[in-house]
Amino acid sequence: MNRFLNFVSITLSMLALLSVIWIIVPAPSFYVWLFSVAVSEWSLWFGAIAVAGIACGVFVRIVYGSENIWFVSVIIGSLALIISFYPLFSVISAARRHNVSLSLSQYFSGLHSNNNFSETELDNFTTYSFAQVGGQDLGLDVYLPTNETTNKGAGIIVVHGGSWRGGKRSDLPQWNQWLTKQGFVVFDIDYRLVPQPNYLTATGDVKCAVRWVKENAAKFKISPDQIALLGRSAGAHLALLAAYSADDARLPASCSEKETSEDVRAVASLYAPTDLLWDYDNPANQFVIDGPATLADFLGGNPHESDEMRNRFILASPVAHVTSATPPTLLIHGGQDQLVRSENLKLLADKLKEEDVPHKTLFIPYAQHGFDYNFNGWGAQIAESVISEFLRENTKAR
């Protein structure tokens, strides 16, 4: 029996360590990275496995005497347990800075990120077509506040991620429903993913969605002057670029025949690439994603092959469009992002500060790209508070 318990002890401890190690070690492949996101967001559950391994080892030592294997198991399990606490410990100062009380009960409320909402709530949206361009029908899903929620008269246009070539609207419906509970009407939109290069069409489609929402504002009981953009990853880049280049003829709206203004009151960005030229030369973890190739597909070439291509990269970079008239901006990024380097936050924040643009930043040290998939995680708990406050403040009626 002692051999069996030793085997269980060392197995649990090793399993925990080989899992949590990816919280701090760069992933060697895309699929390991996906696993690392899950481990980072649910690290204390893996810490519990380490505790089980430690407890089993100590039990063997007390009951069956001194076999060295129990000590090895305890050392490995203890190391895994320490690493599992890194996500929590790393965000305590950020939580205090933003006046957020982290909730253990919310964190442990369930492994599934959608457990805060019923399937009926998540499916409670209506789909509309906002444009037909390039032979494609572009749709958006509209989420309305419930009867119990006071409508703030503001609309949030959500732009999904996916490296500009993948993803789909309403990929995180729990966040959309959460926004409706804050009183916002949510419009989760399509944009063209193919053919690439699609830097013009994707940006133009986001602007077209802004125009459609403004033109139909009365239908959804919102004001056309209380619209904000919110995006994630590639969608955050498009949200920033569309917001910063409103009415710029070099980046026209897809529905350019319409005369409605493209400007928005504010834009919120989660882990966006903000300087595409810098990103091309400073890729993140290329074992996870080939960043330069992704950018070359999106923009149609290498920025070092010609002045025209270099200027195209600059044109498609939000940092290049910042002026004193740029709308208020919220930037959120994780310190362990392996797809888009966290320096992107600082690059844009410095430019916004230089132009005296109202902005707010949230840096989450442990967080990976896509951390907000876990609606109950430490990073998401802080982001919820920061996003809610930012959108309320910058979309309120004037």
Give the whole-angstrom CA distance, residue 105 versus residue 316. 42
Tokens representing 311?
């200027």
Q: What does the block give as tokens for 130?
A: 């906002």
Nearest to 9 by CA among 45, 44, 59: 59
372: domain CATH number?
Answer: 3.40.50.1820
Using the structure block, give the residue that is written with the tokens 């995180």.
172
In a domain, 280, yes or no: yes
Residue 25's domain spans which residues?
Answer: 2-84
Angle between helices 68-84 and 2-20 (to 10 degrees): 30
DSSP labels for 192-230?
---SSP-HHHHHHHHHHHHHHHHHTGGGGT--TTSEEEE
Mean of the pLDDT values across residues 279-284? 98
Specify whether 199 is located in the same domain as 296: yes
Domain shared by 320 and 365, yes or no: yes
Q: How deeply is 171 buried, as exposed, middle or buried, from its count of CB atoms within 10 A (0-12, 13-18, 19+)?
A: middle
Q: Are 57 and 121 in contact (CB under 8 A)?
A: no
The C-alpha atoms of residue 44 and residue 88 are separated, in whole angstroms, by 9
Whether 98 is covered by a domain: the verdict is no
As a whole number of angstroms, the distance between CA 373 and CA 174 comes to: 9
**Residue 157 token pair:** 């246009």
Six-digit token string for 372 = 């907000």
Q: Give residue-wise pLDDT tens across range 117-142.
A: 666 677 789 999 999 998 899 999 99
Q: List pLDDT tens digits, range 164-215.
A: 999 999 999 999 999 999 999 999 999 999 999 999 999 999 999 999 999 9
Asked if the bond preceding 195 is cis, omega within 30° of 0, the reply is: yes
Residue 173 lies in a domain: yes
Q: Which run of H or of E encompasses 130? A: strand 126-133
- Band (pLDDT 50/70/90 cuts) for residue 313 is very high
| 292 domain residue, yes or no | yes
Confirm whether 105 is domain-assigned.
no
User: For residue 118, what pLDDT is reported?
Assistant: 67
Instruction: Read off the pTM.
Output: 0.95
